[in-house]
Structure 1
Amino acid sequence: MSNESIKTIHEFDLNLICEFFLNTERQGPGNSEVTLKALSFIDNLTDDSLIADIGCGTGGQTMVLAEHTPGYITCFDIFPAFIDRLNENATKLNLQDKVKGIVRSMDNLPFQNDALDLIWCEGAIYNIGFERGLTEWRKFLKTGGYIAVTESSWLTEKRPSEIEQYCLPHFPEMDTIAGKIMRIQKAGYLPVATFVLPSVCWTDHYFTPMVNSQKMFLEKYAGNKTAEEFVALQNFDAEMYSKYKEFYGYVFFIAKKLNND
């Protein structure tokens, strides 16, 4: 299979994407350990702190945050089924008083300026754009508030053309870690910490659990070309990562808003 024959995820129906990922704990690379590592760089949170988890999916990372930090977390995703599952999981874990999921787009958040102590976004900021998200969300943070996001980034200055041609249609703002840090500073933040997600976040916590979802999905949509193409995209994504993981990966960026302009 070639790059030319693979669609990007943006070319598929949103309902199809939602149904496929509904029964996965995480909708992108990550795990509890990296969520907690990123959280360790954030201080001054109290029981009164307000936290937004943007593009939360079904809330795999949200539950980790809720169990290990004070404050109240409001979660946003455009898929109602994801939010329903998140709220169900919060209730099962007795976290319903700390977590609330709301169906809402990340470009239309319901906060006043200077309202939030922390903005969290694992694997989703690319949907609005890295620079745009940093810039537009900044006004919601208090002075001294934090933003923590994961973003697909180049790990080397040079890389094979095959992986460039594959990644750029999916992530048009792909850049090196240094380039991303420059954009963070340009948007008005002080970079606090940066680290690359380990490969197990992709293999053990994303691609491997996806196998059962693919099987159920293809059984339900047997003979459906669109469903087959969507699964093919996930498999090709895994193939590309296995082949080129030394050149790219998800990176956690933690930054702090220092003042209001």
Structure 2
Amino acid sequence: MTHYRISELAQAVGLSRSTLLYYEKLGLITGKRQSNGYRIYTDRDLQRLRLLLKLQTGGLTLKQCQACIEAKVDKTLLSQRLAALDEEIAQKQASRDLLAALLGQGKLKDWHAAVDEIAPDAHLEFLMNQGFSKKEALRLKWISKDMNEHEQYMADFMKVFEALERWGPGSEADTLKALHAVPFAPQQLLEIGCGKGLATQVLAAHTQASITAMDNEDSALASLIQLADAAGFGNRINTINADMTDIPLPAGSFDLLWAEGSAYIMGVDQALQRWQPLLTDNGVLVLSDLVWLTDSPSEDAVAFWKQDYPAMTSVETRLNQAKATGYKVLNSFTLSEKAWRNYYQPLDARVQALQSQMPDSAALEAIAREVDIFKRRLGEFGYQFFVLQKA
């Protein structure tokens, strides 16, 4: 029988002398003191230590390992440890996936969405610290949703929309219905997020107001100017490329603010608060926002909009937010189905036309999913106009 001094046993298993003495105190190994004062151990001690070390790789505590060695394995204990280990592995895998994605080796869409839901302002600041301009950071938050794919995503996105007249649902009839709810003839009008100017033309044709049309996309503003000049309204329309979260115009400058489908970019609750100072006393804010029109929407609709517009809520909630911010509600109505057809039918045709050219485009795939949810679930959600007077 082979015998080992404690130093030899420690070297054989890679443990310290003090650890072995502790294990001996627990009864895991049994040394015998010789007449010369040295303690010696047998192969049995060596093998018990090797078995112990193997059991410890399962994440068991020392006492749990000892219990497994000295009695029948406790399967309930092992099941609990296995469940805990699975949870630890999942957490570590999630950590690894995030670090890889931040290094450009994976997708960040879900992470961006989660952060934006709990810390939207900090998320915006984070994106700007990564080198994105405020304009690009806002587009990333609401359109591409992944900083690793943003440049290609936006190039594809603009390729889809550049040929379209409308960049969102709308109709002349709905714009006029909202305008007719304004209780005075506006003199100074600011349109926030004007796009190519389809609503701008309606507002110019049916008021005598001086109109400031604001957007952060130069190509859209160029199209608006061409349309306005052709329609003979160019002398009453001034364009400005600016960020809606920090509008560089004096307080109390406008008796009417107009924002069709754009307030969601900064958050409707923030828009209600931060745009209010721009209004004159008793001035009016008209905005439209995507809302739920039913208390029991389909699961696929909820899943889609939770990812694409997590702040989406009910009409009642938006009305309560407006009242709490100091507005009087003059009117509220749902955008017509025709307004949606004006938008998504040409968009659908554009998607179909580009599929063979852009088979791997994440932007085209996302737009196609959006069109699909419009076709199948419109009515469970829709745009709601809100005509609000500064109290």
The answer to whether residue 283 in structure 2 is matched with residue 145 in structure 1 is yes
RMSD: 2.0
Name the residue aligned to 2:200: 62
Distance in 1 between the 2:245 and 2:167 partners? Answer: 20
Structure 2 residue aligned with 1:234: 367
The equivalent residue for 1:10 is: 144
Deviations 1:197-250 (A, max 9, x none): 1212112x011122453356557xx24623xx3222222212212222231111
Q: 1:252 aligns with which of 356, 376, 385?
A: 385
Match of 1:38 in 2: 178
Aligned residue pairs, count: 246
For residues 62-81 of structure 1, what are the structure 2 equivalents within 5 Å?
Answer: 62-81=200-219
3-state SS of the aligned residue for 1:76?
Answer: strand
Is 1:225 matched with 2:360?
yes
User: Which residues in structure 2 correspond to 1:157-176 (within 5 Å)?
Assistant: 157-176=295-314
1-structure distance, mates of 2:197, 2:335: 18
Whole-Å Cα distance in 2 between the matches of residues 214 and 22 of structure 1? Answer: 12
Counterpart of 1:210, as a letter, is L
Q: Name structure 2 gaps, 5 residues minimum.
A: 1-109, 114-141
CA contact (8 A) 1:148 1:253 kept: yes
The offset of 1:99, in angstroms, is 1.2
Q: Higher helix proportion, which one?
A: 2
Q: Is the contact made by 1:197 and 1:250 (CA closer than 8 Å) also made in structure 2?
A: yes
Distance 2:304 2:207 in 1: 38
* TM-aligned CA deviation for residue 17 of structure 1: 3.2
Q: Measure how far apart 1:168 and its partner are.
A: 2.0
SS of residue in 2 equivalent to 1:143: strand
- 3-state DSSP of counterpart to 1:202: helix
Where does residue 347 of structure 2 map in the other structure?
210
Q: 1:216/1:94 Cα in 2 relative to 1: closer, same or farther (>3 Å)? A: farther
Bigger CA radius of gyration: 2
1:66-215 counterparts in 2 under 5 A?
66-203=204-341, 205-214=342-351
**TM-score normalised over the length of structure 1:** 0.87
Task: Please state how far the C-alpha of 1:162 moved relative to its aligned partner.
Answer: 1.6
CA distance in 2, matches of 1:224, 1:157: 37
Q: Is the 8 A contact 1:18 1:81 kept in 2?
A: no
Deviations, residues 40-72 of structure 1 (Å, cap 9, x unaligned): 0012225xx111111111111111111111211
**Would the alpha carbon gap of residues 134 and 127 (structure 1) be closer, same or farther in structure 2, given more than 3 Å must change?**
same
Task: Indicate if the aligned counterparts of 1:26 and 1:59 stay in contact, CA closer than 8 A.
Answer: no
The match for 1:26 is 166
In the aligned structure 2, how far is the partner of 1:17 from the partner of 1:105?
A: 20
Cα offset for 1:169? 2.0
When residues 213 and 239 of structure 1 are mapped into structure 2, their CA distance, relative to the original with a 3 A threshold, is: closer
Which whole-Å CA distance do the structure 2 matches of 1:89 and 1:33 have between them? Answer: 19
Q: What SS does the corresponding residue of 1:243 show, helix, strand or coil?
A: helix
The CA distance in 2 between the partners of 1:136 and 1:187, in whole Å, is 10
Using the aligned pairs only, state the percent identity.
24
8 A Cα contact 1:75 1:101, kept in partner: yes
Unpaired segments of 5 or more residues in structure 1? none
**DSSP 3-state at the match of 1:139:** helix
**CA gap 1:85/1:15 in 2 versus in 1, 3 angstroms:** farther
